[in-house]
Structure 1
Amino acid sequence: MKNNMEDFFRDKRQEFDAVEPNIGHFERFQAKLNKEKTEPKKKGGTPWYVLAIAASVLLFFGYWMGNYNQSTSIEQGIELAEVSPQMEETQNFYVATIQKEINEIKLKKTEANQKIIDDAFIQLELLETNYRKLTLELKESNADKRVIYAMINNFQSRLQVLQNLMDRLEEFEELAPQENRV
């Protein structure tokens, strides 16, 4: 096949050479060649292997930082829900009830009752801190029933603080309109 093509072009050479290049074509071509030789080649960007190395270093650094943070962070305890399905239901009930009470209190919040609400939330923060300590104790004690009862009691105490706060807010609302009338 190759010989056939070569023979074809050799025989038809006269027909292909019908058109001459423009005047100065060879000089322009030579100038372009010389220009490419004198100009330094521009790199097309960062080589792929440099990007691959950088990505590998970033992945390694991220993995290391994740493990480092995990080992040095404050030790996490065991939540009540991790003990058993019944305890999970208990925790979910108390958390949902507490959140509902907090939302209702936030709706009743005014400038006049701000101090009462702030005091109650300080008590809640103390109970929450105590609960975090109890989760650590639960982890160390391998689900000791005394710790579990203390955690449930903590939930009950938080709920009691919120219910007392709601009672005080209702009393405050009843007294506030009477004071304005006098």
Structure 2
Amino acid sequence: MKDLLEKTIRENKLKLEEEAPEGHFERFEAKLNREHKTFRLDRKMILQLAAALVFVLLLGNQLRLYFGPVQSQQEQQAATLSSVSDEYSEVEFYFTSAINQGMSEWDKLIQDGYISEADQQMMTNEIKEFDQMQAQLQKELQANPDDDRVIQAMLEYYQAKLSVITLIIDKLKEVKHQKMTHNETEI
């Protein structure tokens, strides 16, 4: 390859030593000037843009915090039974765990196809009503954290929610079991 290159250069030595065609340097300079006029992003400009963007975002966040609604720490955190005492914390943990377990069983029954759209809508409406009731009870508990009636209402709320979910899940499991045993007897 090297020999071929040397041979080509030696054979065309006279042509390579000739002057450039007329106007070659002017066309070359025009191309250079055109390239300098195009907009190019270099590293420094990108860093400046990034710094400006970060500054604007931080400024926006600070303005939102400064002019946003003022809430105390107590208002930001929803009142729960665990905020009243450790004993109620354990009770609340039991109920929320049992409710979450019931809801996961509900989701499994949905995935298995044992729950119709109407039943799903009914459960969604029930859960919405319970959530509204919980929000109201939390407001009352926040306003009156030492009121035994509010604490008792929260406990009854958890019991009622768990009872409804458990009742629905048990009935659906019973229907599922009947369908399975009915199908087994047909075979």
Question: By how many angstroms is 1:123 displaced?
Answer: 0.9
AA in 1 matched with 2:154? M
Contact 2:84 2:145 in 1 (8 A): no
8 Å CA contact 1:120, 1:161 repeated in 2:
no
SS of corresponding position for 1:78: coil
**Cα distance in structure 2, aligned partners of 1:83 and 1:68:** 32
For normalisation by structure 1, the TM-score amounts to: 0.60
The Cα RMSD (Å) is 3.5
Larger Rg: 1
Structure 2: gaps of 5 or more residues: 1-42
Partner residue in 1 for 2:20: none
Q: Alignment partner for residue 113 of structure 1, among 105, 115, 128?
A: 115
Q: Is residue 56 of structure 2 the alignment partner of residue 80 of structure 1?
A: no
Q: Is the Cα–Cα contact under 8 Å of residues 114 and 176 in structure 2 kept in the other structure? A: no
Residues in 1 aligned to 2:114 and 2:91: alpha-carbon distance in whole angstroms = 35
Q: Could you tell me how far apart the structure 2 residues matched to 1:92 and 1:174 are?
A: 31
Q: How does 1:1-182 map to 2 (within 5 A)?
A: 45=44, 58-69=57-68, 71=70, 76=76, 77-109=78-110, 110-114=112-116, 115-177=118-180, 181=186
Whether contact under 8 Å (1:124, 1:161) holds in the other structure is no
TM-score by length of 2: 0.58
Letter in 2 for 1:133: Q
Count of aligned residue pairs for this structure pair: 139
CA distance in 2: counterparts of 1:52 and 1:177, whole angstroms? 65
Aligned partners of 1:78 and 1:135 also within 8 Å: yes
- The alignment-based identity, stated in percent, is 21
> CA 1:67–1:138 in structure 2 vs 1: closer, same or farther (change >3 Å)?
farther
> For the residues of structure 2 that align with 1:68 and 1:92, how far apart are their CA atoms?
37
Q: Structure 2: how far apart are the matches of 1:149 and 1:71?
A: 31
Secondary structure at the residue paired with 1:71?
Answer: coil
Question: 1: distance between equivalents of 2:139 and 2:180?
Answer: 47
How far apart are residue 108 of structure 1 and its match?
1.9
C-alpha change, 1:86 and 1:122, in structure 2 (3 Å) is: same
- CA–CA distance in 2 between the matches of 1:87 and 1:158? 17
- Distance apart, 1:83 and its partner CA: 1.4
The answer on whether the counterparts of 2:114 and 2:172 sit within 8 Å (CA) in structure 1 is: no
Residue number in structure 1 paired with 2:18? none
Structure 1, unaligned stretches of length 5 or more?
1-43
Relative to 1, partners in 2 of residues 1:60 and 1:112: Cα closer, same or farther, differing over 3 Å? Answer: same
